[in-house]
């Protein structure tokens, strides 16, 4: 038999979680929010990078404030990492989107297909 202390409160006395909180967790667990989040990241990158860079790159994901971007060729990878990173970070920071990017990582990917 249980101890006297465990019988005093036979039910959970904590506050119930809001429906919005429960749904947010459910969507996150099921991955339902990912397409919209990915679309927002891509739009943010398109505004910061411009059409020329956007056509040669693709947003992979955002993790811990670091935006990972696929790049089509090694020459562009070198240019972005060495010369354009600061400019792109400033453009991302100036954007009014609620997404905050603190760093960029570029990865060489020969093909940028989805």
- The predicted-structure confidence for 57-96, as pLDDT tens digits, reads as follows 999 999 999 999 999 999 999 999 999 999 999 999 998 7
Give the residue ranges of DSSP H helices in the chain. 4-8, 19-30, 34-54, 74-79, 85-94
Q: Which residues contact 45 (CB under 8 A, 6 or more apart)?
A: 54, 57, 59, 67, 69, 92
Query: DSSP secondary-structure letter at 106?
Result: E
Q: Give the model's pLDDT for residue 89.
A: 95
- Measured between alpha carbons, how far apart are the two ends of the chain, in Å? 58
pTM for the structure as a whole: 0.68
- Distance from C-alpha of 80 to C-alpha of 70, rounded to nearest angstrom: 11
Mean pLDDT of 48-61: 93
Write the CA distances from 53 to 13, 58, 69, integer angstroms.
Answer: 55, 9, 11
β-bridge mates for residue 90, sequence order? none
Q: Give me the sheet containing 66-71, strands edge to edge.
A: 57-63, 66-71, 103-108
**CATH homologous superfamily for 37-114?**
DnaA, N-terminal domain (3.30.300.180)
């Amino acid at each position: 038999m249980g101890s006297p202390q465990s019988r005093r409160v036979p039910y959970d006395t904590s506050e119930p979680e809001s429906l919005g909180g429960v749904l947010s967790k459910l969507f996150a667990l099921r991955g339902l929010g990912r397409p919209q989040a990915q679309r927002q990241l891509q739009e943010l990158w398109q505004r910061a990078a411009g059409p020329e860079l956007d056509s040669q790159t693709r947003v992979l994901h955002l993790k811990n404030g670091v935006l990972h971007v696929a790049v089509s060729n090694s020459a562009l990878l070198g240019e972005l990492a060495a010369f354009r990173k600061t400019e792109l970070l400033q453009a991302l920071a100036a954007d009014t989107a609620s997404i905050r990017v603190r760093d960029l990582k570029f990865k060489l990917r020969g093909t940028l297909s989805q």
